[in-house]
Structure 1
Amino acid sequence: MIKKYSFSALSVFAFFFSFAQEQAIDTVFIFDKQLNSSKKFQKITLLEEDDLLRNTTNLSDVLRFQSPVYIKENGRGSVSSPSFRGTTAQQTAFVWNGININSVLVGQGDVNNMNLLGYDQLQIKSGGGSVIYGSGAIGGTIHLNNELSFNKGFHSTFFLEAGSFSILNTFLKTSFSNDKLSIKVSGNYVKSDNDYEVPEQKYVNLNGSYQNKNYNLGAAYKINPQNTVSWQTQIYDGEQHFPIFSEFATKTKYLTQTFRSLLEWNFKSSQFSNTFKVAFLQDDFQYFDHLEGPKNSGGNSHVYLAKNDFNYLFNDKIAINLIADYQTTTAEGFNSGIQTPKRNSGSLAGLLRWNPSHKFNFEAGIKQDFVEKIESPFLFSFSGKLNASPFYNVALNISKNFRYPSFNDLYWKPGGNLDLRSEISHQAELVNKFTFGNFTFNATPYFISINDMIRWLPNNKGIWAPINTNKVESYGLESELNFAKDFGQNKTKLSVGYGFAHSENVETKKLLSYVPQHKLFGTAVYQYQIFELFLQGTYNGLTYTTDDENLQYSIDPYFVINTGVKVILLKNYQIGFKVNNVFDEVYETTKDYFLPIRNYSANLLINF
């Protein structure tokens, strides 16, 4: 159950800048407006409802098959973590409607505890973003966005899916809006016995069941043409049973409850705009080392946040964006040695945006964080874009980013280390975009250097403890080819991406564990009148699971293909059928935790 809380007064807010040239469409209220500015300079993958419905099992599958992100999953539906560009899950920031929601206890997010259908769109941005999104935004950011529309009337969507391993996935969303008011309510329930087998490896996913519920409520009201207030709330309740390797092993489970609420006041005029947000975030988890016994460990955290984003447009060429935020974070552990830590933090940032001509765009940003009892570095970012020709543009992005220690890093007993320093990274990328008719091609070479990486290693007493160790350098390439064209009643769409990542410990000259050097992913869609067929696949190269590049414990390359078909009936009804892992590929993303071979699902979508 979500615990009761009191929303204390938040006293700090300040000013910041952002370019008013790229404003949201008037009929749609967007909570993460900063992301629009980033699109000028960085490659951002946008996945909307149709894309998400191709991988409705969980968010892990969406990222695995439709993005350059590597997913490390301890069996389907269990603990799952993402990594960008050879970094780790701790260097990946999850951003909910413009707010960083990484756990203050472990410093990362669990992909499978973020309900996929609770969001209107998903955006994936590779590269550093600490100037805007704070601690952890080093390798990349995953944006979970909700939207509210005006003047759309009444609309509802019902989705039902059933499939292999007794999976049941239901979703209902209802919205109403006129010229002043917009309301959206949704709920999602997912459950699965998840008892799949992989005979080739004599593997049975014992004790792998999971279920979760997710509820969303959003509302916006236009006070007048200049002022809009909005509210977004999300409640999540999940239960995961952790897989075991023998029927005689002890069965365990993990419970997660999340509550998020965001209130926003947005003002805009022809020359400046201001967005003020207050938010409350609560995370609770409980671990049971015996399925029916009392909890063995757990923890909860509360974050109270105020943030102000001020934008001023001097003219059609120059704009400034001033951002300030303040937050109070509290936590409490159970059987972890963590008592009741508390942290106050804030930041001041500024960006200057300059468009001297239609060919050139520049953005420069600076930021200083103030974190209680933590030394925080001065951060910066620079982006420049050249529209060299109608078919080619290039953008250079340089930034300094960071991650400060989590509560577990500092206070876990035994092992917590109060002397930890913040991780600091410097990085650069060159975004090349080519456009030829119906084709677009992006190629982005990059380089990342991380100092003082926080790693948990056994000390001389045999106790695992976090220390600042090893300089890590990562370089590589992200590329993507897109094609879309209509031929009369025939519609085609193709997207293929390839990523190369070389990420090594500078001291040992060894590759980091769980960083495949090669990843290929793609989706092809063909539609004729009421019929649609899609094919998607992902390839991962050899993946080391130890820091010494031991081939004996490495994960073999794999290539997995899914396919599906849908039929649209009477415009408002849609039925679909999917086959996942068509060719029965035996594969794993975490050593010894195999993922399902061929499996099936059928679904129904109704719009009314």
Structure 2
Amino acid sequence: MVKSFFLFCLLLATYAGVPLVARAQQQQDTLYQHLQGVEIFGKPAEVFAAGSRIATLDSTYLRTYISSSLAEALQARTPVYVRTYGASGISSVSFRGTGASHTAVLWNGLNIALPSLGQSDFATLPLSGVGEVAVQHGASGSTYGNGAIGGAVLLSSPAYTGKGFGGELQQEVGSFGRYYTNAAVNYKNQKLSVGASAFWHLAQNRFTYRDYARFGAPERTQENAEVQQQGFTQDLTWHLSPKSYLAFRSWYTSTDREVQPSLGAAYQNANQLDKNLRLMAEYNLSSRWGETNIKTAYFSDYLQYTDVETHSETAIKTYQLQAEQTYTYGRQWSLRGGINLQHFRGDVDGYGGAVEENRSSAFILFRFDPSQQLNLSLNLRQTFIKGYNPAPTPTIGANWNFFSQSNHSLYLKGNIAGSYRVPTLNDRFWRPGGNPELKPEQGWNYEGGLRHVYSSGDFLIESEATVYYMLVDNWIQWMPTRGYWSPVNLQKVRSQGVELSSRASKKIGGVALGATAGYTYASSEQVASYEGPEELNLQLAYVPLHKATLSTDASFRSWTFLGYLMYNGLRYTNNNNTSSLPHFALLNLSLGKQFKLGQNKLLATARVDNATNTDYKTMQNLPMPGRSYTFSLRFTIP
């Protein structure tokens, strides 16, 4: 019945002629929002995340690196750790020493993680498909639901601001057989906002590397690592009245990639094809009873893996419905209540038959501002899944501006949050190895920090320090057993660490300068075990203790310069800490020049990635590219 209801909603939206949604409430896409006169930091859902650390990727970087994947953007501009399986493989993201399945990924407010894996492949999420990227650190299960143990990545569709017609065409070429083409068009008037874009990307990845698996470490050319990707987005918003709108969005990506072989491994001619389609319809109404928002969505995720011995297919259909009601009273408080319904159907060769599952949750989010200096939030979510009995997940947070004098402001922040994660479909149903007796993960996150803002004229500096402590019971991890791998519950994992960041900007004459620095220390260890003490109090595999980033940007008249330096510390490749990958640092640089062609603009950009030609690996025995050059032209019609 739930599935039929979802299908009815989607068919109704399509029949009504709603061809595809844009971001309707443009005023809510800005970094700062106003709640009845009270200034609030964050995007709509983040309004209820007082005391949490939230960062938004700057638009200049997103436009410069539009041909990159979301994985590359997060690695360069945030303190999260990105694990990339070679030059053509999947990419996963982890916050604060947690795993990839502990990161919630939301597209316009709905979770898009694959229920089979419990995570998203960030290599299949191109930047050309999103308009804004934000990350929330720490547990946020009460706000974003299942899987938000380490953090959440929040993606929004592009927002179209200018009235009338606009468009863009971009062509890019680069080293190692890299080509990229992107075209976009949009139109907006008082009633209608429409936008569409399409892209094509080819990366042959024929770079040279040292083969340390062979005697003398000879130089070789990488083979079987080509990636070809194409996709489109379409967004439409129709304002039915000044207080209501109807919207429809779509995002399709096809990724065909050769699976890069490990050093010393036999050539398997492995290939992986991913096809991801996301459709969403949204209705929003503002009335004296508050704001009503209803979203219904259909996601289709298909994966085909082949090699000389294997042919495996995975087809996952997801149906979602989310309804929210938000009521704001005066200048002091806002209350949001809602429900989320999900239906999954998995046709996976590894399951031995189709699997279906329903999940639902009810949540209530409360924001209270007793004064302009103090913001409080209290959230609660209860999830319902057959066969499991998750405990309610609460969050309580506070943000206190306890000192403001002259040009200085100091904020004290903190929160306590519960989280949970139900075993994925693969965890339970994969044959052989699936374990239907797995317990769900349950965690608690404690964090506190200090934020300082100094502003004087056109000089601004903002710094933040956060400490956190997290405990996760029944952490799920796949382990080798009886000739195959199977998931087991580790009794308890502890993650603790420090996050530091600072951003400064200044105008000197006609030059605008900016710099951002960040550092994270993340200790993640198993501290209790059901099986024994063999691997207790050791750093978990592929979790670096240290990560640091430094980025700079400068603009003068029609010139723009961007540079960033990223450092990843040593990473162990197993949980007993007997082997590791060394630390490395990457330097990327870009220089752009804008030309005016009447009312239109032409931007020429030259980039150097891995400028120091560092020899590094993100996964054991999988080489990564050395220094590469990219040149692009982007023609824009305002």
Taking structure 2 as the reference length, the TM-score comes to: 0.88
Return the offset for 1:318: 2.2
Identify the match of residue 340 of structure 1 among 326, 350, 354: 354
Return the offset for 1:26: 4.6
Q: Distance in 2 between matches of 1:419 and 1:39?
A: 34
Instruction: Write the deviation string for residues 466-491 of structure 1: whole angstroms up to 9, x where unpaired.
Output: 12123100110111110111112111
Q: What residue is the counterpart of 2:509 in the other structure?
A: 488
Return the offset for 1:199: 3.4
Pairs within 5 Å for 1:51-450: 51-55=61-65, 56-149=67-160, 152-199=163-210, 201=212, 202=219, 204-244=221-261, 245=263, 249-269=267-287, 272-290=290-308, 296-334=311-349, 336-390=350-404, 391-437=409-455, 438-450=460-472
Identify the match of residue 601 of structure 2 among 572, 579, 590: 572
Name the amino acid aligned to 1:372.
K
Q: Distance in 1 between matches of 2:107 and 2:27?
A: 22
Q: Distance in 2 between matches of 1:152 and 1:138?
A: 41
In 2 relative to 1, CA 500–366 (structure 1 residues): closer, same or farther, beyond 3 Å?
same
Q: What residue is the counterpart of 1:589 in the other structure?
A: 618
The alignment status of 1:525 with 2:529, answered yes or no, reads no
Q: What residue is the counterpart of 1:16 in the other structure?
A: none
Q: Please say if residues 88 and 258 of structure 2, whose CA atoms lie closer than 8 Å, have aligned partners that are also in contact.
A: no
Q: Please say if residues 6 and 321 of structure 2, whose CA atoms lie closer than 8 Å, have aligned partners that are also in contact.
A: no
Identify the match of residue 469 of structure 1 among 490, 499, 502: 490
Instruction: Write the deviation string for residues 349-395 of structure 1: whole angstroms up to 9, x where unpaired.
Output: 11221111111111101111001222222110111111111210111
In 2 relative to 1, CA 381–352 (structure 1 residues): closer, same or farther, beyond 3 Å?
same
Percent identity of the aligned residues?
A: 24
Q: Distance in 1 between matches of 2:621 and 2:230?
A: 29
Q: Distance in 2 between matches of 1:152 and 1:470?
A: 57
Return the offset for 1:39: 6.3
Q: Please say if residues 10 and 305 of structure 1, whose CA atoms lie closer than 8 Å, have aligned partners that are also in contact.
A: no
Taking structure 1 as the reference length, the TM-score comes to: 0.92
Return the offset for 1:600: 0.6
Q: Secondary structure at the match of 1:511?
A: coil
Where do 5+ consecutive residues of structure 1 fail to align?
12-22
Q: What residue is the counterpart of 1:536 in the other structure?
A: 564
Q: Secondary structure at the match of 1:223?
A: strand
Q: What residue is the counterpart of 2:527 in the other structure?
A: 506
Name the amino acid aligned to 2:570.
L
> Bigger CA drift: 580-589 or 41-50?
41-50
Q: Distance in 1 between matches of 2:244 and 2:5?
A: 28
In 2 relative to 1, CA 26–518 (structure 1 residues): closer, same or farther, beyond 3 Å?
closer
Name the amino acid aligned to 1:514.
Y
Instruction: Write the deviation string for residues 435-454 of structure 1: whole angstroms up to 9, x where unpaired.
Output: 12211001111111110011
Q: Distance in 1 between matches of 2:105 and 2:220?
A: 32
Instruction: Write the deviation string for residues 259-292 of structure 1: whole angstroms up to 9, x where unpaired.
Output: 11110000113651110011111101000113xx
Deviating above 6 A after TM superposition, structure 1's stretches of 4 or more consecutive aligned residues are: 27-30
Return the offset for 1:247: 9.1
Q: Distance in 1 between matches of 2:485 and 2:264?
A: 26
Aligned length: 585
Q: Distance in 2 between matches of 1:178 and 1:105?
A: 42
Name the amino acid aligned to 2:413.
A
Instruction: Write the deviation string for residues 49-85 of structure 1: whole angstroms up to 9, x where unpaired.
Output: 4212444332222111111111111112311111110
> Bigger CA drift: 409-418 or 50-59?
50-59
Q: Please say if residues 122 and 143 of structure 1, whose CA atoms lie closer than 8 Å, have aligned partners that are also in contact.
A: yes
Return the offset for 1:8: 2.4
Name the amino acid aligned to 1:185.
A
Instruction: Write the deviation string for residues 489-540 of structure 1: whole angstroms up to 9, x where unpaired.
Output: 1110111111110111103111101000000012101111111222211001
> Bigger CA drift: 196-205 or 367-376?
196-205
Q: What residue is the counterpart of 2:583 in the other structure?
A: 557
Q: Please say if residues 28 and 150 of structure 1, whose CA atoms lie closer than 8 Å, have aligned partners that are also in contact.
A: no
Q: Secondary structure at the match of 1:413?
A: coil
Q: Please say if residues 234 and 251 of structure 2, whose CA atoms lie closer than 8 Å, have aligned partners that are also in contact.
A: yes
Where do 5+ consecutive residues of structure 2 fail to align?
11-23, 32-41, 213-218, 529-535
Q: Please say if residues 68 and 126 of structure 2, whose CA atoms lie closer than 8 Å, have aligned partners that are also in contact.
A: no
In 2 relative to 1, CA 574–143 (structure 1 residues): closer, same or farther, beyond 3 Å?
same
Q: Secondary structure at the match of 2:114?
A: coil
- Superposed CA RMSD in Å reads 2.2
Q: Distance in 2 between matches of 1:385 and 1:420?
A: 38
Q: Distance in 2 between matches of 1:282 and 1:301?
A: 6
Name the amino acid aligned to 1:591.
Q
